[in-house]
């Protein structure tokens, strides 16, 4: 293991020009091994070592033990040690996110501040080769924009310096062996075993299969990821200069490009140009665009349909005007309009003809009961969400029934009046699939993924309640 890590650090020149590092230590075997390894090799690399531990105040007793484990090691070797109690629960509540996400966000914010204050060139985390495999597999399955590398970066800009991961070339088993051999005291994170978290399911189900096929899969994936990262960085640079060539107009919330010029560049750069523009317009950094948005814009530009306007999400609209393609950010109305498609406000309240749809992020202790008036779904898979009224040919894959059902048939079966049928909201996901006809039917296969799930609740008007009861 020691040899592999030295080789990895040398090959990627991870500590070149680095004089001091801050190691993020949770108390688990990975980061304790990192602390021990770099401490014992500090003279070889000529680096100053500092350590930091974030106390998330979640599982109080065990979190105190985590802190003590790291603190004791640092005391023993006289390593400068920093720790902070982070208000994770409050932050999660205020930002309507899971406690896991909140802990990560707060931790990285604090660590970034520390690296700047302590004037260190690098933050070091102990992500390893197994983490790399899990991350790549999760991204492949869940979906990501394949113009970037899917895995964990060996090095990326962070604070005034870099975030570095020297263990990406070795496995968890190698790290555990190292801890045993060196007699390092470590803590076990119980949450690593719960199948409630997506990553743990991959760790338990997918990882053993891959390792059985090729015990060096982590080395392969690490290399592939690095090559993809280098290729993407190069192509993105090219796309930036192509964008300048095809740009006809650029205003604060508006970009116009020439379709002819766009079509003359390579398809690989076309996708990147669209991504660049959509990202420039995405001021609040919501998780967007998705690859499906890029495909939609590509087809808008290639197959001229002048009447077509795309609503990408985050208030960004794309439309054509002869040889021009316009990208424009507008304010999204919070009330639905019967003849257009609107993005659902997340989290928030959207008024519809039959009542209000309340959307919130799922909290750990929230009581929810899925039914016709409530839907829970995975944010990453489905958002942005849209609502619109029915169109001819609309169908849903109902839960509990094989095959699809016509929305028009559903309205007839449930004796919804003709005038209400025209106003009834339908909920669609980013791919345009109908997920929910509020109060009437849910689609199959929209089970929540606990990491970041949205709860949608329809609060119908009195009139609708009476109508449905009657
Ligand atoms: N409480 C903590 N305090 C300091 N560092 C931590 C803490 N928890 C995790 N880390 C650092 O982050 C690394 C990754 O840990 P883990 O996989 O649990 O975190 P994560 O939330 O998935 O992080 P990431 O978003 O970086 O993948 C650890 O090896 C360690 O270096």
Q: Is 153 annotated as a binding residue?
A: no
- Residues 87, 166, single domain; the answer is yes
Tokens 């089970």, residue located: 447
**104 alpha carbon to ligand 1 midpoint, in Å?**
7
> What does the pLDDT average to over 426-449?
82
CA distance 383 to 397: 19
Q: Using CA atoms, how far apart are residues 189 and 385, in angstroms rounded to an integer? A: 35
Residue 231 lies in a domain: no
**Per-residue pLDDT at 449:** 59
pLDDT average, residue stretch 99-104? 88
Rg (CA), the chain: 26
Q: Which atom of ligand 1 is nearest to the CA of 124?
A: 31
Phi/psi at 250 (5° precision): -140, 115
Percentage of the chain modeled with pLDDT above 70: 91
Q: Predicted confidence band at 62 (pLDDT cuts at 50, 70, 90)?
A: confident
Q: Do 172 and 81 sit in the same domain of this protein?
A: yes
CB of 325 closer than 8 Å to CB of 300: yes
Is residue 234 situated within a structural domain? no
Is residue 337 domain-resident? Answer: no
- Are 19 and 143 part of one and the same domain? yes
Tell the residue nearest (CA) to atom 2 of ligand 1: 26
**Residues contacting ligand 1 via CB (< 6 Å):** 24-26, 30-31, 52-54, 104, 107, 125-127
* pLDDT tens figures, 184-208: 999 986 767 777 778 889 999 999 9
One domain, residues 192 and 70: yes
Atom 14 of ligand 1: nearest residue by CA position: 127
Q: Is the pLDDT of residue 306 over 60?
A: no
pLDDT in the model for residue 317:
83
| Token pair for 447 | 């089970």
Q: Give me 163's structure tokens.
A: 């975030």
Asked whether residue 192 falls in the same domain as residue 312, the answer is no
- The residue nearest atom 10 of ligand 1, judged by CA position, is 26
Residues 117 and 143 grouped into a single domain: yes
**Counting every residue, how long is the chain?**
470
Atom 6 in ligand 1: residue holding the nearest Cα: 26
- Protein residue with its CA nearest to atom 12 in ligand 1: 125
pLDDT, tens only, 223-257: 999 999 999 999 999 999 999 999 998 888 899 99
Query: Residues with Cβ < 8 Å from 292, sequence gap 6 or more?
Result: 430, 431
CA 82 – ligand 1 centroid, Å:
15
Q: Which of 301, 329, 357 is the last residue of a domain?
A: 329
Cβ proximity of 280 and 251 under 8 Å: no
User: Is 206 found in the same domain as 281?
Assistant: no
Task: Tell me how far apart the alpha carbons of residues 57 and 119 are, in angstroms, rounded to a whole number.
Answer: 27
Strand 309-313 vs strand 254-258: parallel, antiparallel, or unpaired? Answer: unpaired
In a domain, 96, yes or no: yes
- How far away, in angstroms, is 214 Cα from ligand 1 center? 27
pLDDT tens, 6-23? 999 999 999 999 999 999
In a domain, 375, yes or no: yes
Beta bridge partners of 251: 254
| Residue-number span of the structural domain to which 290 is assigned | 248-329
Atom of ligand 1 nearest to the CA of 126: 29
> Ligand 1 centre from 69 Cα, in Å?
16
Q: Whose CA is nearest to atom 24 of ligand 1?
A: 104
Give the pLDDT score at 407: 92
Q: Six-digit token pair at 102?
A: 């909140």
Pair 325, 349 in one domain:
no
CA 131 – CA 230 distance, rounded (Å): 20
Residue pointed to by tokens 């020691």: 2
Mean of the per-residue pLDDT values of the chain: 87
- Ligand 1 centre to CA of 57 (Å) is 15
| From 107, 128, 171, 187, mutation site for ligand 1 pocket: most ligand atoms within 8 A of C-beta | 107
Shared domain check, 211 and 75: yes
Task: Identify whether residues 322 and 390 lie together within a single domain.
Answer: no
**Domains of the chain: total:** 3
Please report the beta strands in 302-419, taking only residues with DSSP state E, as ranges in sequence order. 309-313, 316-321, 324-329, 342-343, 348-352, 355-361, 374-378, 386-388, 395-396, 405-406
**Residues 51-70: what's their mean pLDDT?**
90
What is the pairing mode between strands 161-164 and 155-158? antiparallel
Structure tokens at 448: 């929540």
Top mutation candidate among 65, 125, 158, 172 for ligand 1, by most atoms within 8 Å of CB: 125
Looking at ligand 1, which residue's alpha carbon is closest to its atom 20?
A: 104
| Residue finishing a domain among 215, 237, 272 | 215
Q: Is 131 within the bounds of a domain?
A: yes
Same domain, 316 and 394: no
Expressed in angstroms, the distance from the first to the final Cα of the chain is 72
Pocket test for ligand 1, best of 24, 35, 115, 193 (most atoms within 8 A of CB): 24
Ligand 1: distance of its center to the CA of 21 in Å? 16
Residue 140 lies in a domain: yes
> Could you tell me which residues come within 8 angstroms of residue 389 by beta carbon, excluding any fewer than 6 positions away?
336, 338, 339, 422, 423, 424, 425, 426
Q: Whose CA is nearest to atom 18 of ligand 1?
A: 26
Q: Is 26 annotated as a binding residue?
A: yes
Q: For residues 130 and 392, what is the distance between their CA atoms, to the nearest angstrom?
A: 48
Ligand 1 center–CA 125 separation, angstroms:
7
Give the DSSP H or E segment for 456.
Answer: strand 453-460
The pLDDT tens digits of the residues spanning 138-148 come to 988 877 888 88
- Give residue 469's pLDDT band: very low, low, confident or very high (50, 70, 90): confident
Q: 28 among the known binding-site residues?
A: yes
Whether 430 and 314 have beta carbons less than 8 Å apart is answered as no
Closest Cα to atom 23 of ligand 1? 104
30 is in an annotated binding site: yes
| Residues 265 and 235: beta-carbon distance below 8 Å | no
- Per-residue pLDDT band for 429 (boundaries 50, 70, 90) equals confident
Confidence category of residue 312, pLDDT binned at 50, 70, 90:
confident
Write down the pLDDT at residue 337: 42
- Answer whether residue 242 is part of any domain: no
Tell me: ipTM over 0.95: no
CATH number at residue 197: 3.40.50.620
- Regarding whether 88 and 207 lie in a shared domain, the answer is yes
Q: Among residues 195, 215, 235, which one ends one of the domains?
A: 215
d(Cα 361, Cα 377) in Å, to the nearest integer?
10
Q: 446 pLDDT band (50/70/90 cuts)?
A: low
Give the count of beta carbons closer than 10 Å to the beta carbon of residue 145.
18
């Amino acid at each position: 293991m020691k040899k592999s890590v030295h080789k990895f650090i040398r090959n990627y020149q991870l500590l070149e020009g680095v004089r001091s590092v801050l190691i993020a230590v949770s108390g688990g075997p990975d980061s304790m091994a990192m602390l021990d390894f770099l401490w014992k090799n500090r003279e070889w690399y000529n680096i100053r070592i500092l350590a930091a531990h974030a106390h998330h105040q979640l599982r109080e007793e065990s979190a105190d033990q985590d802190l003590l484990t790291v603190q004791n090691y640092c005391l023993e070797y006289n390593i400068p040690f920093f720790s902070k109690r982070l208000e994770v629960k409050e932050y999660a509540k205020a930002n309507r996110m899971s406690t896991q996400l909140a802990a990560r966000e707060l931790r990285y914010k604090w660590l970034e501040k520390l690296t700047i204050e302590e004037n260190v060139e690098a933050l070091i985390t102990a992500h390893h080769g197994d983490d790399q495999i899990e991350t790549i597999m999760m991204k492949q399955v869940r979906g990501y924009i394949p113009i970037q590398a899917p895995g964990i970066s060996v090095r990326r800009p962070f604070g005034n310096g870099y975030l570095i991961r020297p263990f990406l070339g070795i496995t968890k088993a190698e790290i555990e062996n190292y801890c045993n051999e060196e007699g390092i005291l470590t803590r076990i994170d119980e949450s690593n075993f719960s199948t409630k978290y997506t990553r743990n399911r991959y760790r338990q189900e997918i990882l053993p299969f891959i390792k059985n096929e090729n015990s060096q899969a982590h080395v392969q994936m690490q290399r592939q990821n690095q090559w993809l990262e280098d290729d993407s960085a190069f192509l993105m640079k090219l796309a930036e200069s192509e964008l300048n060539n095809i740009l006809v107009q650029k205003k604060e919330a508006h970009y116009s490009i020439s379709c002819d010029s766009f079509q003359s560049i390579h398809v690989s750069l076309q996708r990147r140009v669209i991504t660049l523009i959509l990202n420039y317009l995405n001021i609040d950094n919501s998780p967007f665009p998705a690859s499906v948005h890029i495909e939609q814009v590509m087809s808008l530009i290639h197959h001229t349909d002048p009447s077509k306007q795309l609503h990408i999400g985050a208030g960004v609209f794309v439309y054509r005007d002869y040889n021009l393609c316009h990208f424009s950010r507008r304010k999204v109305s919070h009330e639905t309009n019967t003849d257009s498609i609107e993005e659902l406000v997340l989290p928030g309240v959207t008024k519809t003809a039959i009542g209000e749809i309340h959307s919130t992020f799922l909290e750990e202790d929230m009581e929810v009961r899925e039914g016709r008036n409530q839907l829970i779904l995975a944010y990453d898979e489905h958002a942005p969400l849209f609502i619109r009224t029915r169109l001819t040919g609309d169908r849903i894959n109902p839960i509990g029934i094989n095959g699809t059902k016509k929305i028009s048939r559903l309205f007839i079966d449930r004796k919804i009046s003709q005038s209400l049928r025209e106003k009834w909201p339908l909920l669609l996901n980013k791919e345009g699939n109908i997920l929910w006809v509020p109060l009437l039917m849910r689609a199959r296969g929209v089970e929540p993924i606990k990491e970041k799930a949205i709860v949608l609740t329809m609060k119908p008007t009195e009139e609708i309640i009476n109508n449905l009861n009657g």
